[in-house]
Amino acid sequence: MSDGLVRENAPNHEVAADGVRLTTSAIVGLGANLGTRERNIEDALKELDDGAQISIVTKSTLRETVPVGGPQQGLYLNCVVEVRTSLTAPELLSACQRIEAALGRVRLEKDGPRTIDLDILLFGDLQCSDVDLKIPHPRMLERAFVLEPLAEIAPRRVHPVTGKSIAEHWSMLRAGAT
């Protein structure tokens, strides 16, 4: 007996039998190292959790981290959130960029300091390598500031390219393995 849902390639994505998109589970990373960092992240989370097309399911604890790459700059606050969204990945990217702009993000240099940064890390099991959107995030497995909070909220989630769990990747990164 059918439940009326058709599963797409991504098991975290549900589509009604009539083709209407229901929701996809996505992971978004947030970081800030300019201004009132915690307030910037709180404001971004309020904007992200719009109650209509995006709902935050769970949020990691905030972590203070050292910058990776870029010019000399201050410490970051980082966290990750799992959201459920009816948006497509490009639409979620646009929503994240609108939030960044509304909170004063100015892109002056690669990996430069920022009031807020929102990155789509995972979007269901989608693998996308467009010019403007790469999912899974191409450097997420190299970054403790991503894997540690992600292992906190979704340790059993499987990386769609490697087939390994986030907990496994976090353990490998801590051990210095790749």
**Residue ranges per structural domain of the chain:** 5-138
Note if 37 is an active site residue.
Answer: no
Instruction: Tell me the average pLDDT of the chain.
Output: 86
Paired tokens of 173: 């990164």
Paired tokens of 65: 């981290």
Note if 114 is an active site residue.
Answer: yes
Does residue 4 surpass a pLDDT of 60? no
Note if 49 is an active site residue.
Answer: no
Q: Which of 7, 37, 43, 114 is catalytic?
A: 114
Q: Which of 37, 105, 125, 157 is catalytic?
A: 105
CATH superfamily of 5-138: 7,8-Dihydro-6-hydroxymethylpterin-pyrophosphokinase HPPK (3.30.70.560)
Q: Which of 119, 132, 143, 156 is catalytic?
A: 119
Note if 119 is an active site residue.
Answer: yes
Q: What is the DSSP secondary structure assignment for residue 50, as one 8-state letter?
A: -
Q: What percent of the chain has pLDDT over 90?
A: 69
Contact 100, 116 (CB under 8 A): yes
Give rounded-to-5 percent helix, strand, coil for the chain.
Answer: 30, 30, 45
* Residue 6 one-letter amino acid: V
Contact partners, residue 3, CB within 8 Å, separation at least 6 = none
pLDDT tens across 28-82, in order? Answer: 999 999 999 999 999 999 999 987 899 999 999 999 998 887 778 789 999 999 9
User: What's the pLDDT band for 158 if we cut at 50, 70, 90?
Assistant: very high
Give the span between the Cα atoms of 153 and 163, in whole angstroms.
18
Contact 21, 86 (CB under 8 A): yes
Give the span between the Cα atoms of 18 and 92, in whole angstroms.
23
Q: Which of 37, 43, 50, 117 is catalytic?
A: 117
User: What's the pLDDT band for 178 if we cut at 50, 70, 90?
Assistant: low
Paired tokens of 162: 């490697």
Distance of CA 134 to the CA centre of its chain: 12
